Chains A and B, each alone.
Chain A
Amino acid sequence: MFKDDELEAIRKTREEWELTVLGPIMEKWPERKEEFRTQSGHPVQRVYTPEDIAGKSYVDDIGFPGWYPFTRGVFPTGYRANLWTRRLITGLATPEETNKRLKFLIEQGQTGLNIIYDNPTTNLLDSDNPLCEGEVGRDGVPTCTLRDMEVVMDGIDMRQVSTSIIHSGPFILSMYLALAEKRGVPFEQLRGTLQNDVLSQYYTVNMSVVSLRDGFRLSADVVEYCRKHVPRWNPISFVGYQIREAGSTAAQEIAFAIGSAIGYTEELMGRGMDVDDFAPRLSFMFNCHNDFFEEICKLRAARRLWARIMKERFGAKNPLSWLLRFHVQTAGSSLTAQQPINNVIRTTIQAMAAVLGGTNSLHTNSMDECYCLPSEYAARTALRTQQIIAYESGVTNTVDPLAGSYFVEKLTDDIEAEAEDILRQIDDMGGMVASLEAGWVQREIVKASNEYHRKLKSGEIAVVGVNMFQDSEDEEVPIEILRIDPAHERHQVEMLRQVKERRDGEALRRALERMKEDAAAHRNIVPSCMEAVKAYATLEEMRNALQEALGAGKESKDAFIC
């Protein structure tokens, strides 16, 4: 990027500066630490210069926004035409309460929905299962049947809204599609994202309804179905977020998410699909943690890495296939129960990193999440955080404003190289599914998590209010606490009972039977799942049908303590 004589002049000047200016100053005022590192452990130099990116080509490695390899973003005008989608994770108590909260957030200026499900729903268990007692509506919205989806989306125009569904497999999406059909909304008009990344779920939230390989296949069925019938829907989102929350480094986060995306791409191409048909609809979800520049560089590195993998490894020709589009969630694990108001500030910095990293969609955590689900007040403040960044800060006026910073470009390169190295190791082990089955990925994450906590303990990583500037006395928590009334659980169980009573038993039995047959025969599961959903089958009934056909999965314990 620089001519040799220029670099030579820079080197000479640097040496002179080190000798005459830096040296004496360092003697008088030594630096605070022997070495500086990013949160994930990358060494950070005192000063960066063109020497650090001398080998780079502006055109090939940095380039222009909306131009291969997309280091500077996927859209040529950045946020000057459209801001990112502001969508807050929502799901609480009952479908009725969740619907109210969604409408409140839309009224407050939210531009997309982002729906999270309670633990029973995530595990495909019904609200009336005794195993679920006390957990219905506590960490998300309970959704047992199509009826619950009808209530959640009541009064919300499915033609207008983009909906993110934090669930895997065909189940909840089938409910969404069945509801659209009922309302006469053509599938072509539906926009949104299904999380659906069973591979990263396997070792982060340890989902185990069916085996890893069966779950993988069923989620790929959804991608295949959506490409044929729901053209504007993103049928899968590769989740780096949870990997990071489980304790990984920044480079591991993007490497494992991209590893999962490579696994799905190979599976879908193996089914005879054209990469340029489905790749434009693959999406990603990343974390933004505390180390501001590391997070920005991670996002830039991920975009470039994916573009090259799609073009060079998979031979994708459609430029849309090269785009890594992603949602960011600020880091839940960075929030502290101590001095919870500080979480607003942490979240602001993390959200700013997401925006400077070019995110396409953003969730900001609420200050109270170390205690409870977000109160309305806390959720609104989280949304306002995004709106202040969007409308007040001015960072949206130009595209990728940090490009060309010697530090930012160098750290982008380093994270990309580290992620590439991890991806090579995954390839050597036979791909992501094999690496997971061997427990390698899990062990690598636990190692990183242990290292992170060692640094927290030693103070190498600072957390204000926790390992420094603690309050000496028991402080009163100055925030509103949302409590979920147990009456909501009883209401949900009663609603489920009424749905079960009203169903056509024969249609239900036939649909579940067909689902079982399709699963056993490895036919695409979505059509029979849709039929079951329309007959008001419950999640647990569908779970049972699948387990009868395929057997139950097991929890992955490989990574426990190493």
Chain B
Amino acid sequence: MNMEGKPIRVLLAKAGLDGHNRGIQLVGKALRDAGMEVLYGGLRITPQEVVEMSIQEDVDVVGISIFSGGLMTIIPKIYHALQENEATRHIPMIVGGILPPGDAETLKAMGIKEIFGPGSDLEDIVAFIRGLVAESRERERASRT
């Protein structure tokens, strides 16, 4: 099967208890316009739901949008849930939201691939995801040969 030709599949969801979904809508539209398949997990998604949907939908990337001040508690929980499952530990995760300076570095040190804050360029997000997927598909191919 030609991995390069397969459309990129992204799970987008909002974690935390707030309902601000303007950002995730814009990102979702940009990804679809760029030819990716976007699965929307809805608001207030739990770590377990992220893992289940990621497996079910066989996604390449998980993108979590969060506008809650609880970001530094909620994002690590989701990340660890993905890491703890053999079927999802390879799936890269990115985050969109508002956070104080310094916290993004903490999350990246933990393993989150990128944090997109206010004013982020949608094209940068598209390009970043493409880069991530190219990298992981390359790795997968190398491991098979």
Contact = CB atoms under 8 A, between A and B. Distances in A.
8 contacts: A133-B70, A134-B74, A450-B29, A453-B26, A453-B122, A463-B119, A483-B100, A561-B40
Nearest to A129: B17
Interface string A415-447: 000000000000000000000000000000010
| For the complex of A and B, 5 pairs with smallest distance between CB atoms | A134-B73, A138-B69, A206-B19, A134-B70, A135-B70
A560 B21 CA distance: 9
Contact of A561 (B32, B44, B118, B122): B32
A330 interface: no
A484 B21 CA distance: 24
Given A133-B70, A337-B119, A139 B18 contact: yes
Contacts of B18: 119, 122, 139, 205
Interface stretch (A258-266, A269-277, A365-373, A523-531): A365-373
A450 B70 contact: no
Given A133-B70, A450-B29, A483-B100, 10 more contacts: A122-B18, A134-B71, A205-B18, A206-B21, A245-B20, A247-B22, A453-B122, A555-B44, A557-B40, A561-B28
Contacts of B72: 134
B17 A135 contact: yes
Interface in A364-423: 370-373
Interface in B10-57: 16-22, 25-26, 28-29, 32, 38, 40, 42-44, 46
A463 B19 CA distance: 25
A205 B44 CA distance: 12
Interface of A: 118-120, 122-123, 125, 131-136, 138-139, 204-207, 245-247, 333, 335-338, 370-373, 446, 449-450, 453, 457, 463, 466, 477, 481, 483-484, 555, 557, 559-561
Nearest to A465: B119
B49 to A, nearest CB: 12
Given A206-B19, A206-B21, A207-B19, A555 B42 contact: yes
Given A481-B100, A555-B42, A337 B73 contact: no
Contact of A371 (B20, B46, B74, B98): B98
A560 B40 contact: yes
B83 interface: no
Nearest to A559: B25
Nearest to A372: B100
In the complex, which range does the number of interface residues on chain B fall in?
35 or more
A560 B32 CA distance: 12
A246 B69 CA distance: 19
A135 B29 contact: no
Interface string B68-83: 1111111000000000
The prevalent SS among residues of B at the interface is: loop
Contacts of B26: 449-450, 453
B117 A337 contact: yes
B142 to A, nearest CB: 34
B122 A457 contact: yes
Given A135-B70, A481-B100, A557 B20 contact: no
Nearest to A481: B100
A290 B91 CA distance: 40
A561 B101 contact: no
B99 interface: yes
A449 B123 CA distance: 17
Contacts, number: 102
A476 to B, nearest CB: 8
A481 B104 CA distance: 14
B118 A139 contact: no
Contacts of A205: 18-20
B28 A132 contact: no
Contacts of B101: 371, 477, 481
Most interface-central of B29, B70, B71, B74 (chain A CB within 10 A): B70
A337 B118 contact: yes
B119 A446 contact: no
Nearest to A453: B26
Nearest to B98: A370
A246 B70 CA distance: 21
A259 to B, nearest CB: 20
A460 to B, nearest CB: 16
Given A337-B119, A560-B28, A122 B99 contact: no
A483 B100 CA distance: 8
Contacts of A457: 121-123
Contacts of A333: 22
Given A336-B118, A484-B69, A446 B100 contact: no
A204 B70 contact: no
A484 B69 CA distance: 9
A562 B71 CA distance: 28
Contacts of B16: 119, 135
A372 B67 CA distance: 11
B16 to A, nearest CB: 6
B50 to A, nearest CB: 14
A369 to B, nearest CB: 8
Nearest to A132: B17
Given A450-B26, A559-B25, A371 B99 contact: yes
B70 A336 contact: no
A204 B123 CA distance: 25
A246 B22 contact: yes
B25 A245 contact: no
B5 to A, nearest CB: 24
A129 to B, nearest CB: 10
A169 to B, nearest CB: 16
A126 to B, nearest CB: 12
B21 to A, nearest CB: 7
Nearest to B72: A134
Contacts of B68: 119, 134-135, 138-139
Nearest to B32: A561
Given A138-B69, A204-B19, A555-B42, A370 B122 contact: no
A371 B70 contact: no
Interface string B108-139: 00000000011101110000000000000000
Given A119-B68, A139-B18, A453-B122, A561 B29 contact: yes
Contact of A206 (B43, B98, B117, B121): B43
